[in-house]
Amino acid sequence: MNEEKEVEEHSKPLVLEKLEAAHADALLAQDESRGTVVVVVRKERVYAVLEYLKTDSELAYNYLVDVTAVDNSRMESELMRFDYARFMVVYQLYSYQGQCRVRVKVPVHENDLSIPSATGLWRGANWLERETYDMFGIHFEGHPDLRRILMPDDFEGHPLRKDYPLQGRGERERFNFDKQNA
Amino acid sequence: MGLDFGPSGEQDGNIITTTIDKVVNWGRKNSLWPMPFGTACCAIEMMATLASKFDLSRFGSEAIRFSPRQSDLLIVSGRISIKMMPVLKRIYDQMPDPKWVISMGACASCGGVFDTYTLIQGVDQFIPVDVYIPGCPPRPEDLIDAVLQVQEKISSGASPKGVEVIYE
């Protein structure tokens, strides 16, 4: 941990250098969180950036650790930073070769919830994107099977959104056994 | 068990009298076949109860059946989500009468600490429960105690919670 920090103080992480060279127009912001490089990427360019991170022979971020999202609707400071985009889709990548991580964040506006699917790059993105769809309602364009994964198929709403009540809208008291068994 | 000696009251005879109900209940009581429905940490305690240290077979309940059709005691141990509840209900419906239900632990009985949109706040809203076990999770002794309470209920001739009349 200490070694990593010293290196970072002296030189820019390789991933930032290479991204700035190859995809400067895609980067909205860059950050550092507990030793992990964080880049905020324009939605239109996210697939290209992810593909670059995965396929570049020096970076080789070949492992998609997680796809999730954040609802910033009650986080004024975050909203202001990125043109009042309500959601932030988050990709966590890991490089077996460089043994390091990078976090790619993508602001998504509520009036256009679509974002390109990463299933073409990592097959493992399938269920991760389904979960993000289930919980936040983000639509991953090009996903082969974008269904709910955790909640029942006939569930309404997306429960990890901040405006969804913690105790639900009465789903736990009333549901149709016959319909669900069918 | 309600056994009586013959009409003459003599003890040398080979005749004892009882009622069919009592004999049947005695058999049921001592050969409960549980259907485990373990969805969380309570299930770990249930496994401990069944294993050698606590040994539920001392009370005649060691024949765990993973088919509801062969069981007469449903042990609901763990959180039941709104997606799992129809499955649980279906399993309960598939068990032949008479059947008893133990709701094991805080989550199955009332939702426990999970007061959220996805968790059933007590399975007794949807299936009848005979014995509740408090605890998070309960100790194996608590589960044994619950089985003994079910046995007591059976031998007393009381109907299971979910069945109105079973003995003619």
State how far the Cα of B115 lies from the Cα of B106, in Å rounded to an integer. Answer: 12
Q: Which of B86, B116, B119 is opposite residue A177, by nearest beta carbon?
A: B86
Structural domain range at position A65? 2-164
Average pLDDT over residues A82-111: 92
A116: helix, coil or strand? Answer: strand
ipTM: 0.75
Tell me the nearest-neighbour CA distance from A122 into chain B, angstroms: 29
Which fold would CATH assign to domain B33-155?
Answer: Rossmann fold (3.40.50)
The answer to whether residue A84 sits within a structural domain is yes
The answer to whether residue A139 sits within a structural domain is yes
Q: Where are the domains of chain B?
A: 33-155
Share of chain B above pLDDT 70, in %: 88
Domain count, chain A: 1
Residues B117, A169: C-beta atoms closer than 8 Å: yes
Average pLDDT over residues B95-118: 91
State how far the Cα of A166 lies from the Cα of A172, in Å rounded to an integer. Answer: 12
CATH (domain of A159):
3.30.460.80
Residues A171, B86: C-beta atoms closer than 8 Å: no
Average pLDDT over residues A115-136: 93
The answer to whether residue A52 sits within a structural domain is yes
* Contacts made by residues B61-67, CB under 8 angstroms, sequence distance 24+: B61/B31, B61/B32, B61/B33, B61/B34, B61/B147, B63/B31, B63/B33, B63/B34, B64/B33, B64/B34, B64/B35, B64/B36, B65/B33, B65/B34, B65/B35, B66/B35, B66/B36, B67/B35
Among positive and negative, which fits the CA dihedral A101, A107, A108, A110?
positive
Residues B117, A152: C-beta atoms closer than 8 Å: no
CA atoms within 13 A on the CB side of B140: 14
The one-letter code for the residue type at B60 is G
State how far the Cα of B120 lies from the Cα of A172, in Å rounded to an integer. Answer: 5
The answer to whether residue A70 sits within a structural domain is yes
Q: Is A167 on the interface with B (CB under 8 A)?
A: yes
Give me the pLDDT at residue A23, please.
85
Residue A139 structure tokens? 């639509």
Give me the pLDDT at residue A182, please.
43
Give me the pLDDT at residue B6, please.
57
Average pLDDT, chain A: 86
Among A131, A172, A174, which would you mutate to test the B interface (most chain B Cβ atoms within 10 Å of its Cβ)? A172
The answer to whether residue A171 sits within a structural domain is no
Among B85, B93, B115, B117, which would you mutate to test the A interface (most chain A Cβ atoms within 10 Å of its Cβ)? B117
The answer to whether residue A174 sits within a structural domain is no
Statement: residue A159 has pLDDT above 70: yes
Residue in chain A lying closest to B86 (CA) = A177
Statement: residue A128 has pLDDT above 80: yes
